[in-house]
Amino acid sequence: MIEPYLRQFDAFAANGGSTSPAWLQQRRAAAIESFRRSGLPSTKDEDWRFTSVAPISRGDFSKSPEPSRVSLAELEPYLFGQPDWPRLVFVNGIFDPGLSTEHPRQTSLRRGLDTAPADLEPHIGRHGPTDTTPFSSLNLALAKDGAWIRIPAGVVEPAPIHLLFVTTPEASDAGVHSRSVIVVEAKARAQFVESYLTLRGAPRHLTNTVIEMSIGEGAWVEHSRIQRESEAGFHIGLTHVDQSADSHYRSFSLAMGASLARHDLQTRLNAPEAEALLYGLYLGNRDQLVDNHTSIFHDHPRCRSWEVYKGILDDRAHGVFNGKIFVTPLAQQTDAKQTNRALLLSDTARVDTKPQLEIFADDVKCTHGATVGQLDPMWAFYLRSRGIPADQAHRMMVAAFAAEVLDEIASEPVREALRGVVAQRLDRLG
């Protein structure tokens, strides 16, 4: 059911959207036309065959959320004990200057689409093509706001930059669309933390978010994405990363919220000697569906990628992992490894995993693997034979399974905080 979104775009274009510069209006019009042609995806589409978006199709999330006031005290539990970190806060998709902080250094840290600054034009839709998915087309057509961050060449940011996307009950039955652009120039270094959370209850809503990132030559980026929204909502996200020569991108993704959660992470190694490290952990219980799609494009020689995603599922939860590695004929001496492991804590939880390699070069080292299973009872017996109670032994084994990827979080405050968050969640599983 796409007609409500088409009507929403027409109303938006006739009001706030019409005040945007001509270049943005043109890209929005192209995006909604792409969405009109494709419609919402179905399980007949290969990239969506394990993930039905019927619950989104049956709903009407075409209205905009109502304004909402959020206090800094409400955000404190989500700041990792670091209230002084530079941050941009968006409440129901709209920038909140009162909750955000100014940045005293050379970095340009601003809001994005709502003000449509001219220097944003070369980047919107370039790093994450408009038609990557139907939801990314809809995002560009309807997003009113987002972050616009530029780290100048050679600048080393000492503290992570925190992007917080908050939903409140005022977003009930609404669509929250945000689109952000991050440009890290040559030999710069930065950390980003991207948080999605829900305050004051459990509104049924749709979060549809896109981040486009460009990493310059010799630059270093560490990026943590934490999705812990209400299980009454739906979350669709796309992260697209373009990497230049000798650049380094390190990603960690935690997905534990929303009734249906889908994240597409794409990184393109656009020049020799680039490196991408992708780590992920997804947790599901009750009837949650958690879908991670990753794509790594090795377009040039002597690039390296390393990927480890793990899932822990209980009750009737459903996990999906699809990891693609593309190696072009030019990309000789590629070194790529991909691993997906899933732990099922009940007989009714399930995982669909699909690692993919498409290799068109002959001088490469590429491996992939996937395992799905339950806890080994012999390990539980070993721990119990050492006097550890059964429940505690179970928690220890599940926590050890998650620790491999949690330990890869670059920022110590984020790593320590998420260890506690995940431990609390695991106590409720199994």
Q: Which of 339, 266, 331 has its CA nearest to residue 304?
A: 331
Whether residue 106 is predicted with pLDDT greater than 70 in this model: the reply is: no
- Tokens for 385, please give them: 């034979």
In the chain, % of residues over pLDDT 70: 96
Predicted pLDDT at 379: 67
Characterize the bridge pairing of strands 147-151 and 108-111: antiparallel
Residue type for position 79: L
Rounded to whole angstroms, the Cα distance separating 408 from 294 reads: 18
In the chain, % of residues over pLDDT 90: 76
pLDDT digits (tens, 9 = 90+) for 79-95: 999 999 999 999 999 99
pLDDT digits (tens, 9 = 90+) for 203-218: 899 999 999 999 999 9
Whether residue 15 is predicted with pLDDT greater than 80 in this model: the reply is: no
Does 202 fall in a domain? yes
pLDDT band, very low/low/confident/very high, at 310 (cuts 50, 70, 90): very high
Q: Cβ of 43: how many Cβ atoms within 10 Å?
A: 12
Does 69 fall in a domain? yes
Q: What's the length of the chain?
A: 430
Structurally, how many domains does the chain consist of?
Answer: 1
- Expressed as residue numbers, the domain containing 197 is 3-372
Does 390 fall in a domain? no
pLDDT band, very low/low/confident/very high, at 122 (cuts 50, 70, 90): confident
Rounded to whole angstroms, the Cα distance separating 17 from 26 reads: 11
246 or 388: which leads in pLDDT: 246
The rounded Cα 301 to chain-centroid distance in angstroms is 27
Does 147 fall in a domain? yes
pLDDT band, very low/low/confident/very high, at 105 (cuts 50, 70, 90): low
Predicted pLDDT at 137: 95
Rounded to whole angstroms, the Cα distance separating 264 from 167 reads: 21
Whether residue 20 is predicted with pLDDT greater than 60 in this model: the reply is: yes
Predicted pLDDT at 387: 72
CA dihedral 322, 374, 429, 78 (to 10 degrees): -40
Predicted pLDDT at 36: 95
pLDDT band, very low/low/confident/very high, at 199 (cuts 50, 70, 90): very high
Predicted pLDDT at 98: 93
Does 242 fall in a domain? yes
pLDDT band, very low/low/confident/very high, at 131 (cuts 50, 70, 90): confident
Whether residue 256 is predicted with pLDDT greater than 80 in this model: the reply is: yes
Rounded to whole angstroms, the Cα distance separating 217 from 237 reads: 26
Predicted pLDDT at 374: 86
Predicted pLDDT at 17: 57
Does 265 fall in a domain? yes
- Tokens for 133, please give them: 């998915």
Does 379 fall in a domain? no
When pLDDT is averaged across residues 294-300 and rounded to a whole number, the result is 97
Q: Are 293 and 325 in contact (CB under 8 A)?
A: no
pLDDT digits (tens, 9 = 90+) for 134-172: 999 999 999 989 999 999 999 999 999 999 999 999 999
Whether residue 18 is predicted with pLDDT greater than 60 in this model: the reply is: no
Predicted pLDDT at 388: 76
Does 31 fall in a domain? yes
**pTM score, two decimals?**
0.95
pLDDT band, very low/low/confident/very high, at 395 (cuts 50, 70, 90): confident
Please, what is the average pLDDT of the chain? 92
Q: Are 47 and 293 in contact (CB under 8 A)?
A: yes
When pLDDT is averaged across residues 332-355 and rounded to a whole number, the result is 95
When pLDDT is averaged across residues 167-180 and rounded to a whole number, the result is 95
- What secondary structure, in 3-state letters, does the chain show? CCHHHHHHHHHHHHCHHHHCCHHHHHHHHHHHHHHHHHCCCCCCCHHHCCCCCHHHHHCCCCCCCCCCCCCHHHHHHHCCCCCCCCEEEEECCEECCCCCCCCCCCCEEEECCCCCCHHHCCCCCCCCCCCCCHHHHHHHHHCCECEEEEECCCCECCCCEEEEEEECHHHCCCEEEEEEEEEECCCCEEEEEEEEEECCCCCCCEEEEEEEEEECCCCEEEEEEEEECCCCCEEEEEEEEEECCCCEEEEEEEECCCCEEEEEEEEEECCCCCEEEEEEEEEECCCCEEEEEEEEEECCCCCEEEEEEEEEECCCCEEEEEEEEEECCCCCCEEEEEEEEEEECCCCCEEEEEEEEEECCCCEEEEEEEEEECCCHHHHHHHHHCCCCHHHHHHHHHHHHHHHHHCCCCCHHHHHHHHHHHHHHHHCCC
61 or 14: which leads in pLDDT: 61
179 or 395: which leads in pLDDT: 179
Predicted pLDDT at 1: 78
Predicted pLDDT at 382: 58
Q: Which of 145, 112, 129, 133 has its CA nearest to residue 56?
A: 133
Whether residue 375 is predicted with pLDDT greater than 80 in this model: the reply is: no
Predicted pLDDT at 335: 97
